[in-house]
């Protein structure tokens, strides 16, 4: 006897995205109109703006809205009421903030361990990737994913194949996640690439010093910067935005000896 398939429970950002989508369908927001500021939406639903941002990314991914940095979120089309709902939910199972939280917990500790375990060859490989990204930025070349390469080589520098396989699995999920790819559309500019390059140079400097805590902090801060960039790209209504809602608490309290 075949087992019944239990539908996956909707995440909070999915529920809010579906409710906003329903309001658009029923004429509350016509094409060309602007949705309320994120702060207002967050207050309406009693959630953080992190959740609202993921809901809006989901709607942008569906082509329903357009998120414009410094301007707001605009309705682009009126979706069909029963338009591939199951497919949309399956594709939107994990939001970018959830991915970044997992990466921050995992990769910060990997960087700390790599500071102890990396060989000279590992350090040289990481340096070459950084130099390759410098040349790519200068040439406006997006053909290679030097970011992914850096993080995988860093994981390999722990000399632990299980840690490398875990990081590979996380990046595979990001590569196949429509929401993550939509997020990347907003941080593909030269300015962001230069910022991430500087972060990686700081990580590499800590590895060269065999600075375990410095490597942990550098990776933690890098992923914190990525999270903050996700909060910034359409935040036109809050010059003093409530960033305290999204602060991460470092969990590393000891030393690797």
Backbone angles phi, psi at 131, to 5 degrees: -65, -35
In a shared domain, residues 224 and 111: yes
In a shared domain, residues 165 and 75: no
In a shared domain, residues 61 and 107: no
In a shared domain, residues 126 and 218: yes
Residue 235 to residue 114: CA distance in whole angstroms:
36
**Residues above pLDDT 70, as percent of the chain:** 81
Which CATH number characterizes residue 41's domain? Answer: 1.10.10.10
For residue 244, CA distances in Å to 27, 66, 176, 241 come to: 35, 26, 31, 9
Residue 136 placed within a domain: yes
In a shared domain, residues 167 and 225: yes
| Token pair listed for 164 | 């490398």
In a shared domain, residues 144 and 222: yes
Last residue of a domain, one of 29, 46, 80: 80
In a shared domain, residues 51 and 145: no
Residue 52 placed within a domain: yes
pLDDT of residue 58: 86
Q: What is the dihedral of CA 24, 30, 36, 37, to 10 degrees?
A: 100
- Max CA distance (Å), the chain: 62
Buried b (16+ CB within 10 A) or exposed e, 138-147: eeeeeeeebb
> Domain range spanning residue 17?
12-80
Residue 88 placed within a domain: no
In a shared domain, residues 74 and 162: no
Q: Average of pLDDT values for 109-138?
A: 96
In a shared domain, residues 123 and 159: yes
In a shared domain, residues 168 and 119: yes
Give the DSSP letter of residue 245.
G
Residue 1 placed within a domain: no
Into how many domains does the chain fold? Answer: 2
What are 207-227's pLDDT values in tens digits? 999 999 999 999 999 999 988
Residue 140 to residue 138: CA distance in whole angstroms:
6
Are 208 and 214 in contact by the 8 Å Cβ rule? The answer is no
CA 129, chain centre distance (Å) = 21
In a shared domain, residues 72 and 100: no
Residue 115 to residue 176: CA distance in whole angstroms:
30
Q: Average of pLDDT values for 23-52?
A: 90
In a shared domain, residues 16 and 112: no
Residue 253 placed within a domain: no
Which CATH number characterizes residue 212's domain? Answer: 1.20.120.530
| pTM given for the model | 0.66
pLDDT of residue 143: 80
Residue 18 placed within a domain: yes
Residue 241 placed within a domain: no
Residue 175, pLDDT > 70, answer: yes
Residue 86 placed within a domain: no
Residue 100 to residue 170: CA distance in whole angstroms:
10
Q: Average of pLDDT values for 65-83?
A: 80
């Amino acid at each position: 006897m075949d087992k019944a398939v239990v539908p996956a429970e909707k995440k909070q950002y999915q529920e809010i995205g579906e409710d906003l989508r329903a309001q658009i369908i029923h004429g509350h927001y016509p094409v060309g109109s602007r949705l309320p500021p994120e702060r207002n939406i967050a207050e309406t639903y009693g959630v953080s703006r992190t959740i609202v941002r993921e809901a809006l990314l989901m709607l942008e991914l569906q082509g329903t809205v357009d998120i414009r940095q410094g301007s707001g979120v605009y309705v682009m089309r009126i979706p069909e009421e029963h338009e591939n709902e199951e497919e949309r939910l399956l594709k939107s199972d994990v939001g970018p903030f959830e991915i970044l939280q997992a990466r921050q917990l995992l990769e910060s500790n990997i960087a700390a361990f790599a500071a102890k375990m990396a060989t000279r060859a590992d350090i040289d490989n990481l340096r070459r990737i950084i130099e390759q990204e410098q040349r790519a930025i200068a040439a406006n070349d997006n053909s290679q994913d030097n970011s992914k390469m850096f993080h995988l080589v860093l994981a390999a520098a722990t000399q632990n194949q299980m840690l490398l396989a875990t990081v590979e699995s996380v990046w595979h999920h990001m590569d196949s996640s429509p929401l993550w790819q939509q997020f990347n559309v907003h941080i593909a500019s030269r300015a962001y690439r230069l910022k991430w390059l500087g972060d990686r140079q700081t990580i590499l400097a800590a590895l060269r010093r065999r600075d375990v805590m410095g490597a942990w902090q550098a990776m933690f801060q890098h992923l914190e910067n990525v999270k903050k960039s996700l909060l910034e790209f359409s935040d036109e209504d809050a010059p003093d935005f409530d960033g305290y809602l999204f602060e991460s608490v470092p969990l590393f309290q000891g030393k690797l000896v």
